[in-house]
Amino acid sequence: MAHSVQQLPYDLTALEPHISRETLEFHHGKHYAGYVAKLNAAIEGKDEDKLSLLDLVKKGPSTAYFNNAAQTWNHEFYFNAFSAKGAREPSGDLAMAISAKFGDFAKFREAFNAQATGLFGSGWTWLVLDGKGELAIVNTGNAGNPVNDGMTPLMTCDVWEHAYYIDYRNLRPDYLKGFWEVLDWNVVGQHYAAAK
């Protein structure tokens, strides 16, 4: 089954000024679309062609197609968590779980930002449920995905430079400020509810 490029659930200008149209044109239209094309080329005519995207990722980093499968999945998860008018803070059970684990939402954001700015090189910073069902903030390098370590992703921030260089140059902390302005906690809450 050929995997197709998912359309963004919002207009290319919807996230401005935090994420520009130009960034989305390159990030979604070139980088992400390129991963999808390379994945399809790698699995065409093989048994893996019948697997879902998540099942391809779960096969792990030792597979020849892992990087493109994981980057495709990671990007779809990332892009689908944004909204111009979504909730900017968690609510309900997720808000209580974040407060119980990190102290409060502000402390959670500080911890997440520290993890994301501290990641050397390219990768992803995630809020996950770990193998014990506890909230955790983890980094994965390059195309890494926490499902390969028995964790359930709730949200992610792409900290590859292609995610922010057009808008923020080398200022990852400034990009993170913009990230929080477009992340929709309603979406994250849905992931949390589904995982519990």
Q: Is the pLDDT of residue 166 over 70?
A: yes
pLDDT at 19 over 80: yes
**Pairwise CA distance, residues 54 & 69, whole Å:** 8
**Domain presence at residue 127:** yes
Verify that 114 and 186 share a domain, yes or no. yes
Q: Output the average pLDDT for the chain.
A: 97
Q: What six digits make up the tokens of 192?
A: 């949390």
Structural domain of residue 125, as residue ranges?
A: 92-195
Q: Are 136 and 128 in contact (CB under 8 A)?
A: yes
Is residue 185 scored above 90 in pLDDT? yes
Query: How far apart, in whole angstroms, are the C-alpha atoms of residue 49 and residue 81?
Result: 27
pLDDT at 2: 87
Q: 3-class SS at 82?
A: strand
Residues 66 and 34 placed together within one structural domain of the fold? yes
Query: Domain holding 55: CATH number?
Result: 1.10.287.990
Residue 5 lies in a domain: no
C-alpha–C-alpha distance, residues 193 and 189, integer Å:
6
Kindly state whether residue 1 falls inside one of the protein's structural domains. no
Do 50 and 25 share a structural domain?
A: yes
Asked if residue 185 and residue 131 are part of one domain, the reply reads yes
Is a pLDDT exceeding 80 seen at residue 1? no
Residue 157: Cβ within 10 Å count: 25
CA distances 175 to 16, 73, 122, Å, are 12, 21, 14
Say whether both 178 and 101 belong to one domain.
yes
Shared-domain flag, residues 75 and 97: no
Number of domains into which the chain is organized: 2
Is residue 98 domain-resident? yes
* Residues 65 and 114 reside in one and the same domain: no
Residue 10 lies in a domain: no
108 and 47 together in one domain: no
Average pLDDT estimate for 43-57? 96
User: How does pLDDT run across 144-165, given as a tens digit for each residue?
Assistant: 999 999 999 999 999 999 999 9
Give the list of residues 6+ apart from residue 62 with CB closer than 8 angstroms, or none.
Answer: none
Q: The domain that contains 136 carries what CATH number?
A: 3.55.40.20
* 73 and 120 inside one domain: no
In a domain, 28, yes or no: yes
For the stretch 88-111, pLDDT in tens is 999 999 999 999 999 999 999 999
Opening angle at CA 60, ends 64 and 175, nearest 5: 95
pLDDT of residue 196: 87
For residues 108 and 160, membership in a common domain is answered with: yes
